[in-house]
Amino acid sequence: MNLAGWTSFFQMGILVFLGALLFMAFANLLGMRRLKRLPALIPAPFVSVLVPARNEAANIEACVRSLLDQEYANYELIVLDDQSTDGTAGILAGLTARTSRLRLISGGPLPEGWVGKNWACHQLALAARGDFLLFTDADTRHHPGMLCDALALAVASRADLLSGMPAQETGSWAEKLAVPMIPWMAHTTAPIPLVRLWPFEFGVNAIGQFMLFRRRAYERIGGHAAVRASVIEDFALPRRVKRFGLRWDLVDASARVRTRMYHSLGEVWDGYTKNLFAAFYYRLPAFTFVWLWMLYVTWVPLIGLLLQAAGRPLPGFSPALALVAYAVDCLLWLLSDLRFGLPAWQAFLHPLTVAFFAAVAVRSASRHLRRRPVEWKDRLVPTQG
């Protein structure tokens, strides 16, 4: 096959790949459940809402107030101050003094072999009394009907773990470029209705900002203690749920939960550096292939069009196929952006998002392979090779 034939072959390969992603995106558009108003549960099970907080002075009050305003009656709210070095503890103490619903506990020293968040969640689970355990992060804000709807859906679907993708808020340009990747991956890379049914761990993940467990299921899989060293507990825990033959579901929580994960380029850079290579379970060949392929699928049609416009076309290159590829790619990003609260225009910046993540991928793999820790919340997070 000559160069023109190979060019045409790879263009068609890009379209086939994007077509498969489009199938999964539409499957999730139609089959991914949503948190929405459902009939109230009678009787209502007792729920423990658990919030780990370390250096969250900017977020914790709004989060706690939204959780105290829930329409659901039968719940407790426990917040763990994980040895914060800012004003988190003082804010929580003030809130605790004004209501009996909120219980504040102080986290103990981080034991060897534990990641900080897993240790905090483990302590929260030990203090909880609920039949259901909802782990949620301090950077979230909750609609008053959130607990009612989450419990009703979990009971109706018989889910042992119900995780939800919140609506995403962004401020800085770094956030606008980086944050859309997370909902895109959740909405586009696995058909949730099928993953929900099959017995395999492949395609199973959760969103660490919102994980609702039946207590008996949480204890059966070993809880956070079983994944104590993992920096991606929201991947490790749902896969244990599947491994134990329990029911898992990932739902659209954007109408009931909002979040702003990061606030600066530094937070974006370090946050994804900490997690990205770990999300591939430190498998360098697969990690390298995925990010090179993402760059290829996203950028080759655009580069080909630019060369065509400059009068230097690639042999066998079809501008029509390249335009179709770019349009389908934009549609994929548009579907996830609109569903999870991001502006539509950000979908057209997705080539920059992919390029940004490829750079983060290089840094993430490099730091993990060289065992160089990442600083997060004034604490060094160990890396693994």
pLDDT tens-digit readout, 52-109: 999 999 999 999 999 999 999 999 999 999 999 888 999 999 998 888 889 999 999 9
pLDDT tens-digit readout, 115-159: 999 999 999 999 999 999 999 999 999 999 999 999 999 999 999
Task: Decide which of 260, 289, 321 is a domain's last residue.
Answer: 260
At 4 the pLDDT is 74
Whether residue 384 is predicted with pLDDT greater than 70 in this model: the reply is no
Whether residue 26 is predicted with pLDDT greater than 70 in this model: the reply is yes
pLDDT tens-digit readout, 219-259: 999 999 999 999 999 999 999 999 999 999 999 999 999 99
pLDDT tens-digit readout, 182-221: 999 999 999 999 999 988 888 899 999 999 999 999 999 9
As for how many domains the chain has, the answer is 2
Q: Is residue 179 part of a domain?
A: no
At 149 the pLDDT is 96
CATH number at residue 92: 3.90.550.10
Whether residue 302 is predicted with pLDDT greater than 80 in this model: the reply is yes
Helix (H, G, I), strand (E, B) or coil at 158: coil
Q: Are 62 and 160 in the same domain?
A: yes
Q: Is residue 265 part of a domain?
A: no
Do the beta carbons of residue 24 and residue 190 sit within 8 Å? yes
- State the maximum Cα–Cα separation within the chain, in Å, rounded to a whole number: 76
Whether residue 353 is predicted with pLDDT greater than 90 in this model: the reply is yes
pLDDT tens-digit readout, 358-374: 999 999 999 888 888 77
Q: Is residue 272 part of a domain?
A: no
pLDDT tens-digit readout, 160-183: 999 999 999 998 888 999 999 999
What does the buried/exposed string (b/e) look like for 331-340 if buried means 16 or more CB atoms within 10 Å of the residue's CB? ebbbbbbebb
Instruction: Return d(Cα 13, Cα 22) in angstroms, integer.
Output: 14
Instruction: Return d(Cα 86, Cα 146) in angstroms, integer.
Output: 29
Q: Are 121 and 46 in the same domain?
A: yes
> Which of 58, 104, 100 lies closest to 80, judged by CA?
104
Instruction: Return d(Cα 129, Cα 135) in angstroms, integer.
Output: 13
At 281 the pLDDT is 86
Q: Are 224 and 129 in the same domain?
A: yes
CA dihedral angle for residue 294, residue 300, residue 301, residue 302, rounded to 10 degrees: 100
Whether residue 375 is predicted with pLDDT greater than 80 in this model: the reply is no
Q: Are 214 and 314 in the same domain?
A: no
Q: Are 312 and 234 in the same domain?
A: no
Helix (H, G, I), strand (E, B) or coil at 136: strand
Q: Is residue 67 part of a domain?
A: yes
Strand partners, 141: 258
Q: Is residue 310 part of a domain?
A: yes
Whether residue 341 is predicted with pLDDT greater than 80 in this model: the reply is yes
> Which of 230, 204, 45, 46 lies closest to 121, judged by CA?
230
Q: Are 40 and 158 in the same domain?
A: yes
Amino acid residing at 49 = V
- Residue 280 CB burial class (10 angstroms; 0-12, 13-18, ≥19): buried
Residue with tokens 């390969």: 13
Q: Are 356 and 242 in the same domain?
A: no
Q: Which domain holds residue 104?
A: 33-166+207-260
Q: Are 18 and 104 in the same domain?
A: no
Q: Is residue 269 part of a domain?
A: no
At 31 the pLDDT is 93
What's the chain's average pLDDT? 92
Q: Are 231 and 212 in the same domain?
A: yes
Q: Are 95 and 153 in the same domain?
A: yes
Do the beta carbons of residue 49 and residue 162 sit within 8 Å? no
Q: Are 301 and 160 in the same domain?
A: no
Q: Are 107 and 147 in the same domain?
A: yes
At 97 the pLDDT is 83
State the DSSP H helix or E strand holding residue 168, giving kind and residue range, or none if neither.
strand 167-168
* Residue 207: other Cβ atoms inside 10 A: 22
Q: Is residue 199 part of a domain?
A: no
